[in-house]
Amino acid sequence: MAKPIYNITPFTLLDYPDKTACILWFAGCNMRCLYCYNPDIVEGKGRYSYEDAITFIRKRKYLLDGVVLSGGECTLHKQLPAFCRQLKDEGMLIKIDTNGTNPDLILDLQTDGLVDYIALDYKAPAAKHASITQSSLYARFESFLKILLKSNIPFEIRTTVHTDLLNEEDLQEMIAFLEKEGFAGKLFIQHFVNDSRTIGQLRNIAGKIDPGKFASGGIEMVFRN
């Protein structure tokens, strides 16, 4: 079997809310977002097996509350549920970072108690989703969101803003959509980081979205940079 994991970040205090964790970066993705900072992970091959990851976690678990499954897109990997069960056997909490294109897998993980927290990317409103992600997966994102809203899994939503790709009207539309769907959690909005190596040929952003223009009764918006 091809090795699924591109890299391991041994320790983070930033990527799992209020927990210590390591990050497993899964190789491959079904999107090619123009602003993606991880072209090597998206287009590269895995270097670590599930066994390698479990061996690593057994040695370090005295330091770790949980494991972040990131990527790339970790939910593309068919063995993920079995791996999550192994992580649970090691006593780990599990956070999944996802672009929201595999709702069936999340349903299975939820049913089996194999996911504790989700960070869901909301890339763009429907009309721009395909051009920004170079995929046609918006409908799956919508299904994923609806499943999460009905579930009891804690989750956050994240949007990256490159001002050539998303403008303030787009962001207003996205917030209105989330409100309509009944989302009342945290929406993290992060601006594109200039001078990054990305999948698309993007120029640096000159301006930023003005946080003062955004308000929502139900959603807690957090501008990260």
Interface with ligand SF4 (CB under 6 A): 29, 31-33, 36, 38, 42, 71-73, 99
Strands (E) in the chain, as ranges, are 5-12, 21-26, 66-71, 93-98, 117-121, 155-161, 186-191, 220-223
Whose Cβ is closer to ligand SF4: residue 64's or residue 71's?
A: 71
CB of 44 to ligand SF4, least distance (A): 11
Rg (CA), the chain: 17
CB closer to ligand SF4, 64 vs 138: 138
Rounded to a whole number of angstroms, the minimum distance from the CB of residue 55 to ligand SF4 is: 25
Shortest approach of ligand SF4 to residue 24 CB, angstroms?
14
Report the residue number, 64 or 74, with the smaller CB distance to ligand SF4: 74
Distance CA 106, CA 57 (A): 23
Smallest distance, Å, CB 59 to ligand SF4?
28
> From CA 28, how far away is CA 45, in angstroms rounded?
7
Q: Decide if 86 contacts 50 (C-beta within 8 A).
A: yes
> Looking at beta carbons only, is 64 or 119 nearer to ligand SF4?
119
For ligand SF4, the closer of residues 213 and 224 by Cβ is 224
Q: Tokens for 222, please give them.
A: 């957090």
Cα–Cα distance measured from residue 121 to residue 132, given in angstroms and rounded to the nearest whole number: 13
Q: Which residues contact 131 (CB under 8 A, 6 or more apart)?
A: 124
Residue 63 C-beta: closest distance to ligand SF4, Å: 26
Q: Report in angstroms how near the CB of residue 1 gets to ligand SF4 at its nearest.
A: 21
Question: What backbone torsions phi and psi does residue 156 show, to the nearest 5 degrees?
Answer: -125, 160
Nearest CB to ligand SF4, comparing residues 64 and 157: 157
Contact partners, residue 108, CB within 8 Å, separation at least 6: 81, 114
- Inter-residue contact 134 to 33 (CB < 8 Å): yes
